[in-house]
Chains A and B, each alone.
Chain A
Amino acid sequence: MVYATSLTSQPLVVGEKKLNKMGRMKPKQIEIQLNGEAYSLAEPATVDDLIEIRQLNPKQIAVEINGSLVPRENFRFFLISSGDCVEVVSLAGGG
Chain B
Amino acid sequence: MSTIEKSSIDSVFEVGGHQLSSRLILGTGRYESFETMQQSLDVSGTQCVTVAVRRERLYDGEGRNILDFLDLDRYVLLPNTAGCFDAQTAVRCARMGREILRGLENPGANWVKLEVLGDSKTLLPDPVETIKATEILVAEGFKVLCYTSDDPITAIRLKKAGATSVMPAGSPIGSGQGILNPNNLRIILEYLKEGDASYPVIIDAGVGTASDVAVAMELGADAVLLNTAVAHAKDPVLMAKAMKAGIEAGRYSYLAGRIPKQLYATASSPEDGVIATRPFFNESDGGKIVGDP
B66 and chain A: residue at smallest CB distance: A93
Shortest CB distance A55–B (Å): 11
From B11-19, B57-65, B127-135, B185-193, give the one contacting chain A: B57-65
Which A residues are in CB contact (< 8 Å) with B228?
A: 95
Which A residues are in CB contact (< 8 Å) with B57?
A: 5-7
Q: Are the C-beta atoms of B96 and A64 separated by less than 8 Å?
A: yes
As a 0/1 sequence over residues 206 to 232 of chain B, the CB contacts with chain A under 8 angstroms (1 = contact) are 000000000000000000011110000
A35 interfacial by beta-carbon distance below 8 Å: yes
- Distance A7 CA – B79 CA, assembled complex (angstroms): 22
Interface size on A, residues (CB 8 A): 28
As a 0/1 sequence over residues 4 to 48 of chain A, the CB contacts with chain B under 8 angstroms (1 = contact) are 011100000000000000000000000000011000000000000
- Distance A45 CA – B31 CA, assembled complex (angstroms): 38
Main secondary structure of the interface of B (DSSP, over half): mixed
Q: Are the C-beta atoms of B56 and A56 separated by less than 8 Å?
A: yes
B20 interfacial by beta-carbon distance below 8 Å: no
- Distance A90 CA – B57 CA, assembled complex (angstroms): 8
Which A residues are in CB contact (< 8 Å) with B66?
A: 91-93
Q: Are the C-beta atoms of A93 and B103 separated by less than 8 Å?
A: no
Among the listed B31, B56, B92, B205, which residue makes an inter-chain contact with A93, where contact means beta carbons less than 8 Å apart?
B31
Shortest CB distance B58–A (Å): 5
Tell me the chain B residues, 67-111 only, with Cβ under 8 Å from chain A.
67, 77, 79-80, 82, 92, 95-97, 99-100, 102-104
Which A residues are in CB contact (< 8 Å) with B80?
A: 94-95
Q: Are the C-beta atoms of B96 and A3 separated by less than 8 Å?
A: no
Q: Are the C-beta atoms of A35 and B55 separated by less than 8 Å?
A: yes
Interface size on B, residues (CB 8 A): 40
Q: Are the C-beta atoms of A36 and B104 separated by less than 8 Å?
A: no
Q: Are the C-beta atoms of B96 and A89 separated by less than 8 Å?
A: yes
Shortest CB distance B146–A (Å): 15
**Taking A91-B67, A93-B66, A95-B82 as contacts, is the C-beta distance between A71 and B52 under 8 angstroms?**
no
A-B contact pairs, 25 of them (CB 8 A): A5-B63, A7-B57, A54-B56, A58-B103, A60-B103, A61-B56, A61-B100, A62-B53, A62-B99, A62-B100, A62-B103, A64-B92, A64-B95, A69-B99, A72-B102, A89-B55, A90-B54, A90-B58, A91-B52, A92-B51, A92-B53, A93-B29, A93-B31, A93-B51, A95-B228
Q: Point out residues on B near A: beta carbons under 8 Å.
A: 27-31, 37, 50-59, 63, 65-67, 77, 79-80, 82, 92, 95-97, 99-100, 102-104, 173-174, 205, 225-228
Given contacts A3-B59, A89-B55, 18 further A-B contacts (CB under 8 A): A3-B63, A35-B55, A58-B103, A59-B104, A60-B100, A60-B104, A61-B103, A64-B92, A88-B55, A89-B53, A90-B65, A91-B67, A91-B77, A92-B52, A93-B27, A93-B31, A95-B30, A95-B52
